[in-house]
Chain A
Amino acid sequence: DQQVKQNSPSLSVQEGRISILNCDYTNSMFDYFLWYKKYPAEGPTFLISISSIKDKNEDGRFTVFLNKSAKHLSLHIVPSQPGDSAVYFCAARYNNNDMRFGAGTRLTVKP
């Protein structure tokens, strides 16, 4: 029951360039979307979120875009830094705190 999908298991970009991580979902009842970042041996940490009534939210180098008609979410990191290297999880919420996650995308930013 994969309601949230991240089809790219890995992504490699050069330092200073843009990183674009993608996420698709199937459940139109999701009302809130989030991105989490995870380093090895640590739990995921919240990065940025967007409500379903918006199509863009920006926080510093991180911007999340939501295309409801396509049921597609993306995270843009500009400029990418080596410290951004981590696994990124897309998540979607419905029904109180019931949150569903994608399988994750491993981002590697090369110096």
Chain B
Amino acid sequence: KAGVTQTPRYLIKTRGQQVTLSCSPISGHRSVSWYQQTPGQGLQFLFEYFSETQRNKGNFPGRFSGRQFSNSRSEMNVSTLELGDSALYLCASSLEQSPLHFGNGTRLTVT
């Protein structure tokens, strides 16, 4: 069974640009969650999607948004990038009320 796939693995953007990250969940998993990892802050919860609906949301500004498609694939978008958005963005999928399965992440660098 294929794991969670995130693309691209690395991205370099400049301040003010926008970026879209992609996540393909494990087959059969309908829940997809996104996390931001920065040194010292651990994994900060961004949002969770289930059946194309945002079900939970963390404390991030509106510049961070996402969506989920009918095949459970998900995208995350960050607009008007800031230097502080540089981080590892992790996507995870799961069955309902089961442990999360993470992808290897997208490393975003904002210059």
Contacts and interface: CB of A to CB of B under 8 A. Distances in A.
Interface size classification for chain A: 20 to 34
A45 B102 contact: yes
Q: Is the interface of B mostly helix, strand, loop or mixed?
A: strand
B104 A96 contact: no
Contacts of B97: 32, 93, 96-97
B50 A97 contact: yes
Contacts of A36: 102
A41 B104 contact: yes
A104 B42 CA distance: 6
Contacts of B102: 36, 43-45
A6 B100 CA distance: 19
Contact of A101 (B4, B45, B59): B45
Interface size classification for chain B: 20 to 34
Contact of B105 (A6, A43, A89, A96): A43
Contact of B103 (A9, A43, A98): A43
A59 interface: no
A84 B11 CA distance: 30
A96 B96 contact: yes
B42 A99 contact: no
> A43, A102, A104 — which one has the most chain B CB atoms within 10 A of its CB?
A43
Contact of B48 (A43, A46, A97): A97
B55 interface: yes
A100 B58 CA distance: 9
Contact of B33 (A6, A99, A102): A99
Interface in B94-108: 94, 96-97, 99-105
A101 B55 contact: no
B35 A101 contact: yes
Interface string A69-101: 000000000000000000001010101111111
Interface of A: 1, 6, 9, 32, 34, 36, 41-46, 49, 89, 91, 93, 95-104
